[in-house]
Each structure stands twice: as C-alpha cells, then as structure tokens.
Chains A and B, each alone.
Chain A
C-alpha cells in the first residue's frame, strides 16, 4: 500500500506531515527529497521568479546532516524537510536582500531566530524567496528582482509582500515557506495562490533577524498547503526569544494535538462590514458557501459588527509608514548596503544612496511617515492614528466576548493582473482592507483556500483572539477535512 501511495502522490505534492512519515519509514532519504525539490526549482523557478537565491550547496549539506541524524535515531518531526525563507529573514553567510537594491550586496552575518529554530529542527534550506521591496507592497511587483508570477495565472500577481513564498508553495517548489505579515502580507498572497498562511499573535514569533518594516505590526508566520503543516511549522517558529524585546514569554502549546477537536458549539461571527464595501458578489458567494460548511460542522453563525473597520486602512497608512521611516533610517550607505558612487559630501552620501537604493513605493512610505511624525503634524496624524488603532482593537475585543472566531473573505478580489494597480497606490492599499485590522489589534489570523472565482483561488480568513493559534488551526483543519480546495494544484506544475 505504501509503494502504491508513493507512486500516485508524487513526492513534491506531499504535505510536510506526509513527507515526515515517508522519511521516518525510510521510503526516501532527505537527500532524494531535497534533490527532487531543487530540480523542480531549476525547472520552474525562473518562470515564476519566486527565488532570489537558491542555496544548493547548503541544501545538500543540510540534507546530509538530516539523514545522518536520522541514522543515529536523533530525527524529530521536521528533520530533513525542505523549506525556503522569505528573503526578509537574515540567513548567515547567505545573501539577504529583502527584495531591495539597497541590500543586493548584503550577506547576513547572523541567522534570524526563526531561521535558527528551523535549522535546529533539522529543516533543509532550499533558498530565499522573492518579495515586495522591504515588505512594502501587496502584489510582489515592487521587488528589485522583478515581479513574481502567480502559478495559477502567469498574467496575475501572486499577492504580496510574501509573493515568492506563496508562489513557491503553490507550485510545489517547496513544501513550506516562511512569510511575514504587517498588513496582510502572509494572508493575502496565501489567498491569491490557494495556500494556507497564518499570521500569529503579535509577539508569538521572534522578530530577531527579521528585517524590520513596522515594529509594532510585523509578525513572521508559516505558509504551507494545509493547516496541519502550518501547525507543524509554527511549532518550530513560535516561542519566547530573549533577543526580541517584544517577544512574549508564554508557553507554546502542542499545535498538532489540538487539530482534531470537534466544532460543535463553535460560535462564528460574520462581521457585517466585511460584506458591505462593494464586495465582489462572486467572492461573497464563495465565502458564504464556505461559512455553510462550518454550519454543517456544528458551528453557530452570528452577525457581528466591527464599527471602526473603515478606519483601518487610513490608520495603517499612518502607523506603518511612520514606523518604517524610523526603521529604514539605518540604510545610510555608511556601514553596509548600497552606497552611491563618488558621494561629494555626507548629505550627498545619504540622499543619493537612499534615493538610488530604494524603489518608489518604499520612498513614498518613508516620506509619508516622515511627514506624519514631523513637528506640527504629529498630533494630527500619528497620535490620531494610534487612538483610532485603540478603537479598532477594542472592536475585536468586544467581538470576542460574543463569538469565538470571525470569518470573512481574506481579500476583496482574486489575484489581479500584473501592472493593473501599479499606477494607483491607493487602489493597491485597499486590497488589504480585510487583513489590516488584525495587525493593528495584534490578533492572530489565518487564510485558507475556499474555492475559485474566474479560475483563480479565493481565500477565507479566520480571525481569532490573542494567542488563539491553536484554535484557529483546529478550525482551519476541520474545514480542510471536509473540503478539498487546499489539495488543488495549478495547471502546468504537475
């Protein structure tokens, strides 16, 4: 039976859970597995443009080490499983570009905590994934390395900023990837590419070595094809880290153990505001059908309100740029990163290194952030945004007093066309309308595949209370046991 199953489910289409079992049973070695994924990357990587760096030598070394550990009886659940990191995580000795010309020459001198934990768990590093420049974007079109293509439609965006991560997992070039989410950058590309992406509670995953965009919003998380796989990867990523002063010292539960709990009595809240703002009727119908599935699984559906939701995008586009303007001031051409040619004085060094090293969207956000924090405008913009943030956060707290989970579409549309929104920054920003609230409040949220509209994937978002990742994964897993959207493969990548 094992041999027949292996023949039918080609290796690259297996989940982490299945690969882990396969490795344990000796059906194949980590070396064979790694070579399979590397050969798929050689075959499809360029057309999708999802990798900035493929680390073949390192991958083989990791695979050898994993096989050796297994032979000594020292293998854990993720030993020998290939993984790729969004190029925002510092990987020691390996180029870490953050999708930017500013860091094109940057070889990280240390490992991010997330990278370190995955390595210690025995995972095999395939490479670094393309992304919107410095994590700013919703389509993976701002990258210095060019746009990533959506595996479901080569003329469409994969979403952003973790577009490379989503595309790589969807096309089965890696069984899993890490991403980061500041305004929706894990969830929206997961939705556009038909995969599972989780943004943990703020503070759950260490930000040490994760290149900073907006420090009070950024959070790293797993991007996989199933909730079960997300649970396995989150298990490794999550946990207190002394090196991150915003890391929360709270025990990490066994995420896999909680996956199969039944959903009877689950109280699902549908925020009425998610279904108002001129939501595409086909998307609405898809999500309503997905919600019906929860009814069948025993959940009770309630209508709730997040009255300040319409303020999320405005508040975010003050807070995030303000924090980014501070975080990006370190890129000055002095100690590392891009430096302009023949600077004539210090001012020229700074202004030209930054003017030439950053792309237009990054510059726009630094400028808006600088303005919002400048004398005379701080109260009107930044302080105001922080108060609005408080109201949005309170809306979630009140909602979770009435229900267990909030459900709605992840994005207002399926993947849009390459070049469609690049000329209109505001239109681009509005594609994060459903995801931004969870970042402002700091609550966890997951996007899972819920069907297709116009042959393109549509994601359903589940938002939970603080540190409810265990329950979110359980609710997502139960939906995936009753449906098969998450098993679909894009054409041309078989």
Chain B
C-alpha cells in the first residue's frame, strides 16, 4: 500500500506534526513499508472473532466523587514554557 505525498501531509496535519517538504517523500516510503507489513493481517480470517482491546476482562473501576488531589499549581507551572498571572501563554487563538 503506497501513500501519496498528499496523504502524508494530511496525516501529518491530523497528528499536528510538522514535516518539511523535503522529508515528505521519505516519510511516505517508510509509512508505506509499515503498511505493507500491517497488511499481512488481511490474510487472517477474523469473521468469528470479537475485538480485544485489553488483556484484562475488567470494567473501569470507579471511585467516590471526592476531591483527593491538592492544588500544586506553582509546582506544575514551574515546568511550563511560558506562564503569566498563573495562566499558560500560547499564541493568539482568536482571529
């Protein structure tokens, strides 16, 4: 299965990863190779099988709706690239 440059650009956008133009073809080749590997699955007859998302046959555990975390904003924000007035700064979003 071969991916076109346009498809690579589309997937890159979905994943929000910049791929420079001169690298698109190489990524296309690598990804197409992986898809060829994956497509070996198609030979298997799985019509009678249910999907298995997880090794454990257990339901999501629930807990009481009670606050257990303490506010550690200063500690967490000490890791941020840009913070002001306890808010995380990003480039302007509104057009």
Interface set of A (CB-CB < 8 Å, partner B): 105-107, 109, 201-203, 216, 242, 245-246, 248, 308, 310-311, 313-315, 317-318, 325, 329, 332-336, 339, 343-352, 354-356, 358, 363-364, 366-368, 370-372, 374, 381, 383-391, 393, 425-426, 429, 441-443
Contact = CB atoms under 8 A, between A and B. Distances in A.
Contacts of A202: 55-56
B46 to A, nearest CB: 4
B44 interface: yes
A67 B42 CA distance: 60
A322 B78 CA distance: 31
Please name the 5 residue pairs, one residue from A and one from B, whose CB atoms are nearest each other, closest first: A442-B55, A355-B18, A386-B51, A387-B46, A390-B52
B93 interface: yes
B91 A385 contact: no
B37 A387 contact: no
Interface string B14-26: 1111111000000
Contacts of B17: 351, 354-355, 358, 363, 366-367
Interface of B: 8, 11-20, 27, 30-31, 33-35, 37-42, 44, 46, 49-56, 58, 60-61, 63, 72, 75-76, 79-82, 88, 90-93
B30 A107 contact: no
Given A317-B34, A317-B38, A354-B17, A386 B81 contact: no
Contacts of B60: 245
B91 A346 contact: yes
A335 B91 contact: no
A356 B72 CA distance: 29
Contacts of B27: 363-364, 367
Nearest to B50: A390
A333 B92 contact: no
A308 B20 CA distance: 39
B49 A367 contact: no
A425 B27 CA distance: 11
B34 A335 contact: no
Contacts of B30: 364, 425
Contacts of A367: 8, 11-12, 15, 17, 27, 31
Contact of B55 (A313, A332, A345, A441): A441
A310 B40 contact: yes
Given A242-B63, A245-B61, A366-B15, A381 B38 contact: yes
Contact of B79 (A106, A315, A317): A106
A176 B60 CA distance: 34
Given A109-B72, A245-B61, A371-B11, A203 B55 contact: yes
Given A311-B40, A314-B39, A370-B11, A386 B52 contact: yes
A374 B16 contact: no
26 contacts: A106-B79, A201-B55, A202-B55, A203-B55, A242-B63, A246-B54, A313-B37, A314-B39, A318-B41, A336-B76, A336-B80, A345-B92, A351-B17, A363-B17, A363-B19, A363-B27, A367-B12, A367-B17, A367-B31, A370-B11, A385-B41, A386-B51, A387-B49, A387-B52, A393-B55, A441-B55
Nearest to A382: B51
A98 to B, nearest CB: 14
A290 B50 CA distance: 38
A313 B33 CA distance: 13
Contacts of B46: 384, 387-388, 390-391
